Chains A and B, each alone.
Chain A
Amino acid sequence: MGLGEGAQRRIAVVLADVFGESIDVGREVAAFLDDYLRRVPSRAALGLRVVVWAVTWLPILFVGVPLPADALSRATRVRYLAAWSGSHVYLVREGFYLLKAIALMGWGANLAVRARLGVGPLAVVRG
């Protein structure tokens, strides 16, 4: 189970705003998510895939705008994402943190991000 091309394109826009990064970094993180979904057990993959779908398609419920998340204005999208992360409903809040936690592993593996933070390579360099 992975992300289709369209799902990957949409969630890349969302993730770029979650992390305050460029769309290029967002695309890399979305590609990471796609790969991750293909590798983890199906039950975990299904849960994460549902969250990706919900974050992409439910602005209508959270901010009242009948558009997918990637089509929102940046200001509205940030407000929308804040509604997820600060929700009083545990499953909503935890679903967002699940997405953020997995996406963070892709973000933290990004070479530009690591260089900016000065944390060295993701894997040990073998001589």
Chain B
Amino acid sequence: MTAEVADYVVVGSGAGGATAALVLAEAGRDVVVLEEGPEVRDEDRGLGSVASFMHLFRDRGTQVAMGRSVIPILQGRCLGGTTVVNGAIVWRLPEDSYERAFGSIGARDAIPLAALEAKMDRIERDLSVAPAPDRLLGGNGSRMRDGAAKLGWRGHSIRRNVLDCQGSGRCLEACPTRRKQSMEVTYLPRAARLGARLVADHEVRTIETSAARAVAVTGRRADGSSFRIAVRRGVIVAASAVQSPCILRRSGIGPREHVGRHFRVHPATAVAGVYRDPVRLWEGATQSYEIDEFRHEGFKMEVASLPVELAGVRLPGMGAAFQRSMADYPNMAVWGVQVLAEAEGSVSPARSRTNIEYTPQRQDMERFRKGAKRLAEMHFAAGAVRVYPGVHGGPDVLTSPDELAKLDDLSLDPRDWAMMSAHLFSTCRMGADERSGVVGFDGAVHGVRGVWVLDASALPTNLGVNPQHTIMAMSMLLTERLAS
């Protein structure tokens, strides 16, 4: 049952919202968490890609950014948000990323790195964060480890929020054994035990204000009926870098020249290699090993154990040739490169959907080209007999490291690359005042009282590392301050 009034309404139940809800509940506040998507039942877990897209992802997995090319934008839409369907990667915010995000806007005193690290310590204890053990590397991760070792590149087992992982390779389908310590099995139930009310299937559309202060949220339930909940103290918006700015825009809240602007992502692409011996992508952790040797060059590499129904899209060939390519699937390793992109796009609400505009810059594409070549090089070092770069206009397949130079000529046109992104940032970015951003260093929206944004949209820029941990730490730090 939906409450009609609460101290705080938290909009969104992902990394930022769940953390805020727990902190408020621990402080004894009366909290309602509103999630647009459904609850995640045990029978919804591990059903394969299609069922997962249909039930757990925004727009059933069809959301895209439009620009010079079309880029799929994957987001969870369920109780627990994207934490339910991500690869369970937990990256402590490195100092250089902290400087890029918070130092560059003059927030070192307001949000010190040490304060974020203290929150990360707690989060890591709460979510059982640990490096993936060797038994979970699988054929995909162990080959990346071997390839990097031969090349002398710095890599490591991924630190994951998983407790006693069974290695079913189904992180992206909601962990079938509930071992992933995502928000719907950790912070949300803890908050509920402390009195927070979790309400699924409730989409917040607008925040009502009176005398420049938030007084209520309004929206619609999954059955189409409308609801309104009054707030005594305020509204915490944590609906993602796509939805949070849309709520502010529909509500007429925040500096218009910044709300929904500055949209940043980590676009990613994958390169597949085929080996003599079985790799068996479906065994081990979905994402178990990564290379950060090139992080300071603007890209980072991770294994990406894709199921067969997603792995074949960019493999070349039709008919019998496609069959030959897919017959290699058991022996195939798939690795991705994610780019610290400098391009900015925008997000805006439309009547029944969200418009996302984004086009990578030339510098971003150069990083892609370097990253793809490095991935191919690492595949060969690990023993691959064939590598599929998957870039239009480039070679369909490489069969020897002697051919790597061909990748120097890969196109820099985004339309020739198969990209996607799940790391989205900065559409309500933090700034000292309303001339530079949407929220202040306390997460409060400039120009209105009682509205805070505590998700990836408030981050001043993209980080170059997986953002869940930083989102949670920032949300925890700033919510503790407002709760006290």
Q: Which residues of A contact B (CB under 8 A)?
A: 17-21, 36, 39-41, 43-44, 78, 81-82, 85, 90, 93-94, 97, 100-101, 104-109, 113-114, 117-120, 122-124
Contacting pair B168 A124 (CB below 8 A): yes
| Cβ of B53 to closest chain A Cβ, rounded Å | 8
User: B48: which A residues are within 8 A, CB to CB?
Assistant: 109, 122-123
Contacting pair B62 A41 (CB below 8 A): yes
Question: If the complex has contacts A40-B60, A101-B313, are A117 and B46 also in contact, measured as CB distance less than 8 A?
Answer: no
Contacting pair B319 A41 (CB below 8 A): no
Interface string of B308-333 (1 = CB under 8 A from A): 11101110001111110011011000
Q: A74 CA to B375 CA in the complex, in Å?
A: 37
Question: If the complex has contacts A40-B60, A41-B60, are A105 and B70 also in contact, measured as CB distance less than 8 A?
Answer: no
User: B310: which A residues are within 8 A, CB to CB?
Assistant: 104-105, 108
User: A124: which B residues are within 8 A, CB to CB?
Assistant: 45-47, 168, 170, 176
Contacting pair B308 A40 (CB below 8 A): no
Chain B residue at smallest Cβ distance from A95: B70
14 further interface pairs, Cβ-Cβ under 8 Å (given A20-B320, A124-B47): A17-B318, A17-B319, A19-B322, A20-B319, A21-B323, A41-B60, A44-B62, A78-B319, A97-B313, A97-B314, A117-B329, A120-B282, A123-B51, A124-B45
Q: A124 CA to B170 CA in the complex, in Å?
A: 9
Q: A44 CA to B353 CA in the complex, in Å?
A: 11
Contacting pair A94 B59 (CB below 8 A): no
Q: A19 CA to B327 CA in the complex, in Å?
A: 12
Interface flag for B307 (CB, 8 Å): yes
User: B60: which A residues are within 8 A, CB to CB?
Assistant: 39-41, 44
| Cβ of A94 to closest chain B Cβ, rounded Å | 6
Chain B residue at smallest Cβ distance from A101: B313
Contacting pair A85 B318 (CB below 8 A): yes
| Cβ of B254 to closest chain A Cβ, rounded Å | 27
Q: Which residues of B contact A (CB under 8 A)?
A: 45-51, 54, 59-60, 62, 69-70, 168, 170, 176, 282, 307-310, 312-314, 318-323, 326-327, 329-330, 353, 392, 415, 418
| Cβ of A75 to closest chain B Cβ, rounded Å | 10
| Among B308, B312, B314, B353, residue most surrounded by chain A Cβ atoms (within 10 Å) | B308
Chain A residue at smallest Cβ distance from B309: A108
User: B322: which A residues are within 8 A, CB to CB?
Assistant: 18-20
Q: What is the total of A-B residue contacts with beta carbons within 8 Å?
A: 92
Q: A76 CA to B156 CA in the complex, in Å?
A: 50
| Cβ of B351 to closest chain A Cβ, rounded Å | 11
User: A109: which B residues are within 8 A, CB to CB?
Assistant: 48, 50, 309
Q: A19 CA to B47 CA in the complex, in Å?
A: 23
Q: A109 CA to B319 CA in the complex, in Å?
A: 18
| Among B62, B312, B323, B329, residue most surrounded by chain A Cβ atoms (within 10 Å) | B62
Contacting pair A94 B313 (CB below 8 A): no
| Cβ of B222 to closest chain A Cβ, rounded Å | 14
| Cβ of B338 to closest chain A Cβ, rounded Å | 20
Q: A21 CA to B392 CA in the complex, in Å?
A: 25
Q: A117 CA to B62 CA in the complex, in Å?
A: 27
Q: A113 CA to B327 CA in the complex, in Å?
A: 10
Chain A residue at smallest Cβ distance from B392: A93
Contacting pair A108 B308 (CB below 8 A): yes
Chain B residue at smallest Cβ distance from A117: B329
User: B54: which A residues are within 8 A, CB to CB?
Assistant: 39
| Cβ of B94 to closest chain A Cβ, rounded Å | 34
| Among B309, B313, B314, B322, residue most surrounded by chain A Cβ atoms (within 10 Å) | B309
User: B59: which A residues are within 8 A, CB to CB?
Assistant: 40-41, 44
User: B176: which A residues are within 8 A, CB to CB?
Assistant: 124
Q: A100 CA to B326 CA in the complex, in Å?
A: 14
Q: A124 CA to B320 CA in the complex, in Å?
A: 30
Q: A93 CA to B49 CA in the complex, in Å?
A: 24
